[in-house]
């Protein structure tokens, strides 16, 4: 009889992610190809383990006013209650109302990359999001306030030694609150996230990818469902 071990399973999940990221770094010389491979590793992780109500893609985000975000490496968005996602010539465009989280994914963490990720996340959070009253068997429920969009950074390693010392803490102070990074993972060194006191914590589990995944799922659970999108607000563009 096979004897299962939960600690072994959780450790193996992290080990697989770290090995794949390290392999992508060593196997590909071209920066774009290396970056694409790293993004694929993180998307595979989330696609495999997040509940099916969530979908994961590299995408642009659009709002009903016609504004677009930067391209985001890893977008987690709703497909259970969001009625449309655009696919055009290999590009994915999702409505702002459907977005739960946005991540920048690169090989190595640095001050410049953190600032770059903050700007990318801010380009999503600044988009307009509609919200309609929700019809139920008991009548209309008030329109939901759009939930906080989680933002983060996913890398294999860090340019700093130690990875989470003073340079990390200084870089994580966003110049614009819209760019705040809530959660992330540097697979070779640790996961990190912001706590209720507004401080960044780095759990000492030694299995960063697994710790990141479980914390992300917990935060998504607490975020509940995206608001009911006003599709007619997007339809107004048909007359322009």
106 is catalytic: yes
Q: Is 73 a catalytic residue?
A: yes
Cα distance between residue 143 and residue 145, in whole Å: 7
Q: How many CB atoms lie within 10 A of CB 163?
A: 20
- Alpha-carbon distance of 43 to 112, in angstroms, equals 23
Among candidate residues 18, 39, 104, 182, the one labeled active-site is 104
Phi, psi of 59 (to 5 degrees): -160, 160
Cis peptide before 130 (omega within 30 of 0): no
Q: Which residue has the tokens 């809530």?
A: 182
The CA-based dihedral angle spanning residues 113, 110, 48, 85, taken in that order and rounded to the nearest 10 degrees: -10
Query: Active-site residue among 73, 78, 97, 182?
Result: 73
Q: Which member of 106, 120, 182, 215 is catalytic?
A: 106
Q: State yes or no: is 138 an active-site residue.
A: no
Q: In whole angstroms, how large is the CA radius of gyration of the chain?
A: 19
Catalytic residues: 73, 104, 106
């Amino acid at each position: 009889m096979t004897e299962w071990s939960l600690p072994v399973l959780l450790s193996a999940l992290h080990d697989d992610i770290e090995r794949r990221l390290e392999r992508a770094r060593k196997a590909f010389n071209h920066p774009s190809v290396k970056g694409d491979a790293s993004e694929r590793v993180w998307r595979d992780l989330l696609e495999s383990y997040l509940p099916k109500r969530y979908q994961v893609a590299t995408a642009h985000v659009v709002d009903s006013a016609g504004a677009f975000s930067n391209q985001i490496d890893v977008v987690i968005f709703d497909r259970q209650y969001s009625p449309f996602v655009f696919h055009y010539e290999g590009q994915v465009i999702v409505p702002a109302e459907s977005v739960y989280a946005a991540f920048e994914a690169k090989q190595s963490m640095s001050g410049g990359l953190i600032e770059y990720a903050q700007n990318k996340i801010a380009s999503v959070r600044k988009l307009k999001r509609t919200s309609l009253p929700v019809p139920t068997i008991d009548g209309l429920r008030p329109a939901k306030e759009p939930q906080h969009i989680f933002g983060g950074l996913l890398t294999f390693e860090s340019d700093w030694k130690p990875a989470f010392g003073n340079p990390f803490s200084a870089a994580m102070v966003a110049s614009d609150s819209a760019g705040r990074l809530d959660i992330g993972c540097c697979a070779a060194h640790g996961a990190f996230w912001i706590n209720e006191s507004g401080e960044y914590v780095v759990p000492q589990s030694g299995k960063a990818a697994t710790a990141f995944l479980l914390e992300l799922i917990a935060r998504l659970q607490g975020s509940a469902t995206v608001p009911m999108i006003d599709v007619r607000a997007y339809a107004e563009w048909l007359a322009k």
